[in-house]
Structure 1
Amino acid sequence: MKGLYYRLAASQEEETFVFQESEPVSSPSDYHVKLQVKACALTPINTKLISALYPSKEHVPVGRDVAGVVLEVGPKVSFFKPDDEVVGILPLDCEESGLCDVIWVHEHHLARVIDVSKGNVNLTEKGIEETGGLGFDIIVDAGVILYNTEDSVTKPTLLPHKHEIISLLSVGGRWVTREQHLQLDPPDSNILFLKGASLSYLNEETWNLSSSQQGKYLHILLLPHPDEDSSETSVISDRRHRGRGSET
């Protein structure tokens, strides 16, 4: 299959990225899965690391994060079957580009997509089953349901409940949430404590800023409202500016 490759030792006159046919160096093993790629992310290429690990390599496949549908499985594959929707990360020594239409991937590099859109799948049971009862080391959500079904819920029903996410965390796991109004009940907090897990917040606006601009963003957020008494806040702001001036 034809895929996109990065040329490591390309001169200024040569193209850095090239399309060429990809052929597996070795035949797929009994544990490989034939995957029809539906989506692929253009992840950054660490040329220094690849040159150090594989000095004889001339071309590096582009695209390692893939998602698709299983077409065929090896005789010893136990985790997947044809027509399963999966996502995965191709290893550094993979010779096939993730932008190919069809690739062979070892089953250990893939994970099954849990479809909760029909409402007949228990997210907690499925997640524990996929991880062999260990749970996930890190979970990044796109929002959570904050209230019970008896209350008025404005969030989409496809979002998981906060208790489900906490139940899916492994020992020492980490939950990264984008929900700014998240509140944990004492039982949920107790589960986090028993697992030694942690909770972090992801603010998209701060995340997209460089480290030199994050302080300015926080300073804008801390500015008082025009209708409020700003005397105390202005004193704190002046002290911060004086401290920064003395440091410089």
Structure 2
Amino acid sequence: MKFYNTAASRMRGVYLSYVPASSEGGKRKLEARIEEHVMLPALEANDVTVQIKACGLSRIDTKTVLQVVPNVDQIPVGNEISGVITKVGDAVKMFSVGDEVTGILPLDSECPGCAEYCVLPEHFLVSKPVSLSHADCAAGLGSGLRAYTAFHTQVPVVPGNIVLITGAASADGVVMIQWCEYLGAKVIAAVNSPKEAEILQKLQPSLLRVIDLSGSQSIVDICLQETGGLGVHCVIDNGASASFYLSDFLIDSATLKQQLEQEPLRYTYETDPSPPLSPTSHQIGSLLAARGHWVSSQPDLQLDPPLSQTLYLKGASLHFMFPAVWTLSGAQLGSYLGVLEQVLKHMEDGVIKPYIYKSVGLGEVCQELVKLGSYGTGKIVMKIETRS
């Protein structure tokens, strides 16, 4: 590891770093902070150095990152980047100094996207179209990859299908809706508040139905009503709620109850005022049509026997949404670059129109990470004018 002389000595980047436990025997916590002197990895033969112009902010699945890269002291923040190449390795063939590029950093990247520079292999990048801004690429590339993964590699959506999308007012949800409509599918969108419903209906007026999960009407009843009792062909969830909760049980042991209530690791940047509303796994199973498809973003999803029996009787299939698998498998990298290029082509053609809720500077990233999840709609994008 070393500093690059080509970059200013005061290199800055954002990381989730461990902070000491507040009490003896407490768990370590992760806190977002700006490091003023970021150490860049040495440039390997196939690596490039990218001057970051924009980076999309997304919730960090810290549990998965720590499984892929265990025993790390800090986690880089930001992976949907767009910028300009300032240096190339000896074996780089795809790009030259000065090329504008965009891409998604892999989970095991040493460099954060929320920084002035980053170093990564060339095969994680594609050329940025001239007609698209750096901010648009950073806002739409990751969501577009999720949509492609769902509708082209997991679920065969055809014109006329009815798709339920939960968390539909999120940045990913908006792009999912746009991709569904491009494929000719009809969309039922589930949101968490009347305000989200109002915003989404203005953005996507062609929706079949918008369901406010904070209301009293059952999502199962609404979906069955809209489909004539047949159920929806596909569900794209933004996480599923448990079908039962700790409060449903009587636990005599105070120690056991405390252990069950506390996660193994709490993160100070995850101080959401309240978790977003989500349908339960049993509700999703009940509203699926025969031979329906369920694409879940819930990594710890558990199917109890009654739910499993419901899915079995319907001949339904369950898929898991984990777009990072594209970069974790070397065999997928060739196809992966083609997918990113197709996503950018859809953005050029207006099929995908990412909605940027707000733009922030590098110094504001830490405070915005705490708020992620409380915004109704759109993407937060870090924009930076890096010193040359």
Scaled by the length of structure 1, the TM-score of the pair is: 0.49
Question: Which has the larger helix fraction?
Answer: 2
Between 1 and 2, higher relative CO (CA 8 Å, sep ≥ 6) is seen in: 2
